[in-house]
Structure 1
Amino acid sequence: MTFIISKTDNSPEIQEDEILDLKAQIFSALYNIKADLVAEKIILHGNYMLNTTE
Structure 2
Amino acid sequence: MSKLVAGREKDHAFADALIRAGLVDPAVVAERIEMVDVHALVQKRLRDWIATYLPAT
Q: TM-score, normalised by structure 1?
A: 0.42
The structure richer in strand per residue is: 1
The structure richer in helix per residue is: 2
Higher relative contact order (CA 8 A, sep 6+): 1
